[in-house]
Chains A and B, each alone.
Chain A
Amino acid sequence: MIGVLNQVVSGIATGGIYASIALALVMIFLATHQINFAQGEIAMFSTYIALMLIQAGVPYWIAFLLTVTISFTMGMLLQRFVLEPLSNAPILASVGAFLGLLLIFNNIAGWIFGYSLKPFPTPFGAGEPMFGGMISRHEMGSTVVTLAVLVAIWAFFRFTKVGLAMRAAAYNPVSSRLVGIPVARMLALGWGLAAGIGAIAGMMVAPIVFLDPNMMAGVLLYAFAAALLGGITSPLGAVVGGVLMGVIENLAGAYVVGTELKLTTALVIIVVVLVFKPSGLFGKALASRV
């Protein structure tokens, strides 16, 4: 019983990371009706930037803030110079662009930083696990950080004028322009936020899985499954789906399929959701926009 509880608690910790990436996917989907397959690789690349800064002697939390800022800018520039020019291109062209970005980031990271696994520091200390050995300090700390990010993002969209304008631009670009919202700028901002969230998720997951250019491949798959499970049109669904995925992954790995086949649970969930309930737990039924 204690074993199960352990798995659930640590599942919630990794689930938070899936939730952040899933939220980034949903944000981009709402604004563009496309899945950003490069989301994970952008996060991985950002994490390397953080490692470089830390190795150069920059204190962890300053490196953290710098990395988020750099990633935010990178996301905005990507939207402005790569995706915006493709906004009227056929769907296959933009899927191609996403996959191209994925490969480019992966290869550049491998070329600059090499393919070996690199340890990544945690700011939360090595110390004893907390709550009677149930959860490591890093898991605890990363859960708190992730939660803070999710609450901040929610509050931003719910309570600020720019957040409202971003939602409006995502739902109804034509009407948005007619009330004076610069839609392209809102989209760039959305990309910046998504890249920033991804960077934080990358920095939180790297101490657990070690940093290498393929670090986010598995995470992206879980996050994608989480976004579908929660409903690809629902930010709340992404968060709930992410936490559920973390817990399901851990329980399945420990008791059902074994750690070797854990990743297949994500694939199974993707297929089951697409076949039986494409709108997910919280999403709206999709018209043929995809």
Chain B
Amino acid sequence: MPMLLEVKALHGAYGESKVLHGLDFVVEEGGVTTLLGANGAGKTTTLRAISGMLKTQGEILFAGKPIQGMKTEDITALGIAHVPDGRGTFMELTVEENLRLGSYTRNDKAAIAVDMARMFELFPRLKERLTQQAGTLSGGEQQMLAIARAMLLNPKLLLLDEPSFGLAPLIVREIFDILGRIVREARMSILVVEQNASLALSIADRAYLLETGRIMMSGTAADIAKDESLRRSYLGY
């Protein structure tokens, strides 16, 4: 399979403190890849590095082209949608305005309308709250809004930073069911980082295990989910 994203010997730091110590991983075209790891392992930092939000060394290739050193907004415009840590809601704006911002880089009005209608099918709750200030939404609704906003970019690659974080199990289930549907029908690749390994492995094809800024293990999601000792020592379930 062709690689959509290739990360080679990626180093990253916040000022003086080094966080990523030479990561190598790939995201295949059309699949779901997950990056697992405990709190503080460097998952969020890895996604930020891909989106050009921090200075890095090494190599990041998107569809074969280097994207390192590009501005975040230009990386987004290439088709990389990033649902950030904390969901990135535009709190002061309405739900509808948040969604419209998702398609900021696009000019294909008709196709945007189709995608918007599709998001309302997937997330009917958002449709009910269109004119509401986004800051008044619950955590789960904000996560749905963040995913819908990212989907409206019509991305080639969707980066998801802990979509389950801080949400009640029922809402998490709902969101992952919807993600599963998106994966099945959309022609795009997903890189999802999660602390909740069983959840992420349930929708992923391929998994990497991250520990203090290094890749400790990689394999198919099925193999990793089967590995009893790995599960107990690293994944905690």
Chain A interface (Cβ < 8 Å from any Cβ of B): 161, 164-165, 167-168, 171-172, 174-183
Contacts and interface: CB of A to CB of B under 8 A. Distances in A.
B153 A167 contact: no
Contacts of A164: 93, 97, 100-101
A156 B226 CA distance: 57
A280 B153 CA distance: 38
A172 B105 contact: no
Q: Is the interface of B mostly helix, strand, loop or mixed?
A: loop
A139 to B, nearest CB: 36
Interface stretch (B32-40, B70-78, B188-196, B217-225): B70-78
B153 A179 contact: yes
B76 A179 contact: yes
A186 to B, nearest CB: 10
Interface of B: 51, 53, 71-73, 76-77, 81-82, 84, 88-93, 97, 100-102, 104-105, 149, 153
A153 to B, nearest CB: 17
Q: Which 7 A-B pairs have the closest CB atoms?
A: A175-B88, A180-B105, A177-B72, A180-B76, A177-B73, A180-B77, A179-B101
Contacts, number: 62
B226 to A, nearest CB: 35
A168 B91 contact: no
A175 B76 contact: no
30 contacts: A164-B97, A164-B100, A164-B101, A165-B104, A167-B92, A167-B97, A168-B97, A171-B90, A171-B93, A172-B88, A172-B91, A174-B84, A175-B88, A175-B89, A175-B90, A176-B101, A177-B53, A177-B71, A177-B73, A177-B76, A178-B76, A178-B82, A178-B84, A179-B102, A179-B153, A180-B73, A180-B76, A180-B105, A181-B73, A181-B104
A193 to B, nearest CB: 19
Contacts of A165: 101, 104
A181 B76 CA distance: 9
A175 B89 CA distance: 7
B52 to A, nearest CB: 9
Given A174-B84, A175-B84, A180 B93 contact: no
A233 to B, nearest CB: 9
A178 B146 CA distance: 11
Given A164-B97, A174-B84, A179 B89 contact: no
B91 A171 contact: yes
A289 B101 CA distance: 25
